[in-house]
Structure 1
Amino acid sequence: MPKLSSFHRSRPSIFDTESNGDELEQLLSPHFERPSLRLTPSPYITEKSIAKRWDKLSDLTDKEQLLDPQTLDNATLYNKNIEHFIGTVKLPVGVAGPLRINGLHANNDFLVPLATTEAALVASYNRGAQLITAAGGASAMLINEGVTRTPVFAFQTLAEAGQFVAWVVTQYDHFKQVAETTTSHGKLHDININIEGNHVYLVFEFHTGDASGQNMVTIATNEVYHYILEHAPIEPKNAFLDGNLSGDKKPNAHTLRHVRGKKVTAEVTLSKSLVEKHLHTNPEQMAKFGQMTTTGAALSGGIGVNAHYANALAALYIACGQDAACVAESAVGITRMEVNAKGDLYACVTLPNLMVGTVGGGTGLPSQKSCLDIMGLSGTGKAKALAEVAACLCLAGELSIVGAFCADHFSRAHQKLARK
């Protein structure tokens, strides 16, 4: 057995370098000379500002790879979406389907666009989608919706915090009126209060229509936040617009029982023969896999239990102009598989954090709108359907990947498709 000292010596370390202390200090110390690379002062998109940026970049890379003629023609369309614009990145987009959905809002066969650079991903979702369609489709139900922002207020004592809360509970109608002066689509739906010692967190929950709604909710809550600071009978010693209780762009356990964005559940029942034909395994193996990996998720401290919601949601969000960073929270949820009395496989998913919209954000940009158009889900009145599509897409991916593990095809599929 190796000695502990030899184990430590086998690891690479800064102490293995021959640099003396002065050299190391010089490397790691702050440097205050003027940067050799600088941006234009204006963050906006104009022909002049784009040209100035490329004056600095043209020696570093091929300009037309980022700023091709079509991108340049459409440049002003991006003004509400980005600052210091230099071009666009092209990602391959594939389609998975047809995916049959029998939902409250999505009720059709869908071809789902997915933007990714990961081989085997679209193929996997395509396989799961076709399996679901062969079974008559997945049932889907949007259960709840709401987007939150959570201001926090600090007081000297618990007594002061209590007086503040006693005033807050009388102000709902005022808060609602103030918030809704900032938006024609957002509606303040509920306010929850969380007291932690002399700190008070207010959870403002909004319905945001067909927009994903983060910016809408931030602006509306900011208006109420300043109303509180001006009118509250107890002045807080500290206050901030968000106290990190909303779960914005972070996985969190709270929404498993509540909602942030749109909460959807979807299910499908697959006959034993369909499982054997499409996945080359059987319902019993898939249910056993689900049981054992649920234990694995608990051992790892996971929030919820799923195989790879993030794959579906990242590819869908990027293709369709959603906020890709919201995958951090949207990919929380629960997958469950069991064998029913007939020996068939029952599978369901529940995703409580689907941050999706069909208006605003990046949804109106040319490529992203085209992807939404493929599904017939661009524009007003379509966001709830998009949420149900996202959940059923995740269900398709769960079936496919669990089937691949059970049939011992997971590595083989990646080797075949990623190493052609």
Structure 2
Amino acid sequence: MPKLNLHRQEYVTSMLGQLSPSELHQRLDPNDEPLQNKLPRNPYISDRVIQQRWEAINNPNAKTIIYDAETQQQQQCYEKNIENFIGTVKLPVGVVGPLKVNGLFASGEYLVPLATTEAALVASYHRGSLLISAAGGASAILLNEGVTRAPGFAFESLVQASQFITWVTTQYDTFKTIAESTTRYGKLSDINLSMEGNHVYLVFEYLTGDASGQNMVTISTNAVFEYILANTPIKPVEAFLDCNLSGDKKATAQTLRSVRGKKVTAEVHLSRELVKKYLHTTPEKMVNFGKMTTVGGALSGTIGVNAHYANALAAFYIACGQDAACVAESSVGITRMELNQQDGLCVSVTLPNLMVGTVGGGTHLPSQKACLELIGLYGSGQSQALAEVCAALCLAGELSIIGAFCSGHFAKAHHRLAR
């Protein structure tokens, strides 16, 4: 037996061996004792109900920090963003840049706020941003947009599923009218059909304007879903509003070739001198690193190949009021490095699943709005530029971390900044 597997077996055995059978039952069996700290049933925000929640929590020290005076004054701002509200959590925010972006929508120098508790992260993205700006900026192109929701329908037979598809293909204009009647900004742009035996999946794809759009597409698709159930001549045995084909909050391979949110690509050309000055390595070593880690990613089953998009996006999403769980799909993408014709380095990133918005969601909350205003991209008409800035930010992080691995500075930087 391999040593690692033996270690795992020994670990479980040692944990269980500390308890007798009766103690094991006592620990793991259901406990029917009444709950001690019941919260009020009302999930909304009011002084009275917040006070009742804190009485149930019974922790004055935590209350002083989480439910401070400023939070109390601003608490109504959070009414549409959270239930069972008890206060706010403060995270450190750092800023990186100036990051120069030459995009179809983003143009100029950007200071980008990142909220994180991970030391060395902001320093790394700052270094990459300065390198990109020293090279004249990152080129960035928004390639596509679209947010999906995918209801599923189960039928008794393949024949019925086929008949249902035949009916659905005649209904696009009706579906579009119904979907768009629920929103001022959303537009139904496409419906894709997928059939698996007697199961049919309809993938509704929307343009969502400047909003990230998850709630928008859910409400619009639900209106169409209810119309289908009421009007289809072929009644399904089962039907569900979403059946896991949309890629919502999970990494999927399908969106590498399509889109979820905003699909963006960015690149920068670096001279050999800049690579040496900022990253303390060579273009050749970085290219070789990319080749070896691409194979490593394939061996591990990674979807896409990148060093750490998730670091940038998680910190950016939290600072700027985005849906942090969407990092799951947004961090899928491809980083590629190659030698260019000027004996330098060309590095590109492609992110097909950027879920970002400049209106809606948490973007209107006080701190998050301030962070978007710091970038200069708050409000209507700014989401496409924000996506290009996000791509350039991820590019900055890839350059910095890959340079750190190639120069042998990765562990040293974490030791210096994080300990």
Smaller-chain TM-score bracket: over 0.9
Matches within 5 A, 1:10-25: 10-13=10-13, 16-25=16-25
Counterpart mapping for 1:296-311 below 5 A: 296-311=296-311
Instruction: Quote the offset at 1:121 in angstroms.
Output: 0.3
Corresponding residue of 1:108: 108
- 1:53 is matched with 53
Summarize the Cα distance change of 1:4–1:416 in structure 2 as closer, same or farther, 3 Å threshold.
closer
SS of the residue corresponding to residue 408 of structure 2 reads: coil
Distance 1:90 1:7, change over 3 A: closer
Matches of 2:34 and 2:408, distance apart in 1 = 57
* 1:10 Cα offset (Å): 4.2
Q: How does 1:120-199 map to 2 (within 5 A)?
A: 120-199=120-199
Equivalent in the alignment of 1:43: 43
Which whole-Å CA distance do the structure 2 matches of 1:19 and 1:357 have between them?
A: 52
Give the SS at the match of 1:11. helix
Q: Which residue of 1 aligns with 2:386?
A: 386
Q: Deviations over 1:26-77 (max 9, x none)?
A: 2211112210011111000000011111112233643121011000100011
Overall identity of the aligned pairs, in %: 64
Counterpart in the other structure of 1:71: 71
Does residue 336 (structure 1) correspond to residue 327 (structure 2)? The answer is no
SS in 2 for 1:140: strand
Residue in 2 that maps onto 1:81? 81
TM-score by length of 1: 0.97
Gaps of 5+ in 2: none
Taking the TM superposition and a 5 Å limit, the aligned residue runs for 1:268-347 are: 268-347=268-347
Alpha-carbon separation, structure 2, partners of 1:4 and 1:412: 29
What secondary structure does 1:195 align onto? strand
Structure 2 contact 229–235 (Cα < 8 Å) conserved: yes
In the alignment, residue 113 of structure 1 is paired with which amino acid?
Answer: P
Deviations 1:89-142 (A, max 9, x none): 000000000000000010010000000000000000000000000000000000
Give the Cα–Cα distance (whole angstroms) in 1 for the partners of residues 91 and 249 of structure 2. Answer: 23
2:236 matched residue in structure 1: 236
Structure 1, residues 161-199: CA drift from partner, whole Å, max 9, x if none?
110000101100000000011100000000000000000
Question: 248-257 or 60-69, which moves further after superposition?
Answer: 60-69
Distance 1:83 1:406, change over 3 A: same
Alignment RMSD (CA, Å)? 1.7
Residue 211 of structure 1 corresponds to: 211
Q: Calculate the TM-score normalised by the size of structure 2.
A: 0.97
SS of the residue 2:11 aligns to: coil
Mark the runs of 5 or more structure 1 residues left unpaired by the alignment: none
Q: What pairs with 1:338-357 in structure 2 (closer than 5 Å)?
A: 338-357=338-357
Matched with 2:255 is: 255
Contact 2:114 2:315 in 1 (8 A): yes
Instruction: Map Cα deviations across residues 230-252 of structure 1 (whole Å, 9 max, x no partner).
Output: 11110000000001000000000
| 1:322-347 CA-partner distances (Å, limit 9, x unpaired) | 00000000000000000112211000
